[in-house]
Structure 1
Amino acid sequence: MELQTSDGQEAEFEFVGSSTSEAVVQAVAEAAGTDPTELPPLYDQVDPDALEKLFRNPSNGVVAFDYHGYTVVVRSDGTVLLK
């Protein structure tokens, strides 16, 4: 997963090759400087199964939600944006 920062306030991660839920948890953990197992369960904020279904097939979708102090924006182009 590659971190790209745009202005110190946002971080963008590519999640090609991993599940969407795994990518979200990994991106937040990396941005927060912690182990993914130390984060609260993702399902407390969003339904991981629904997230997977939304991005299983290529589409033009975007989902945003708050998780561990970040606004997480998941895009259908394979990126997770943290604000």
Structure 2
Amino acid sequence: MTGKDITSAADSPVEDPERGSFTARYDWTANDDPSISIVRTVAAVTGTEPTEMRPLYEVVDPEAMNRLLTRAGARTRPIRLSFRFENCAVTVHADGRVIVAPCE
């Protein structure tokens, strides 16, 4: 990301009005899986219950994504994955950032 890095505690995405996006930060070395973190962040941004959202696996392979983003050394590499989910543009970084921008 360029400019000011706006991040938050898990499950509390912080809005970046200049970019029209929300950013949350997770620790995937602890108990957070990237796939679960994405669903939680998108749910928080859209105001939707996770159980009311379509399954993430319809958009991306959650197991493959989890392996890619949590493998040894991933946090130190510029790995990111972008896709659309629940009418939002989602970008997930190996350093634990999940950036969600609602699509107009």
**Displacement over 2 Å in runs of 4+:** none
- Distance, in Å, in 2 between the alignment partners of 1:63 and 1:5 is 20
TM-score for both structures, normalised by structure 1 = 0.92
> How far is the alpha carbon of 1:5 from its aligned partner?
1.1
> How far is the alpha carbon of 1:51 from its aligned partner?
0.6
Identify the structure with bigger relative contact order (alpha carbons < 8 Å, sequence gap 6+).
1
| Runs of 5+ consecutive residues of structure 2 not aligned to the other structure | 1-9
| Runs of 5+ consecutive residues of structure 1 not aligned to the other structure | none
Number of aligned residue pairs: 83
Pair member with larger Rg: 2
Q: In the alignment, does 2:59 pair up with 1:62?
A: no
> How far is the alpha carbon of 1:14 from its aligned partner?
1.1
TM-score for both structures, normalised by structure 2 = 0.75
Q: Trace 1:1-83 onto structure 2 (pairs within 5 A).
A: 1=10, 2-7=12-17, 9-16=20-27, 17-57=31-71, 58-59=73-74, 60=77, 61-83=79-101
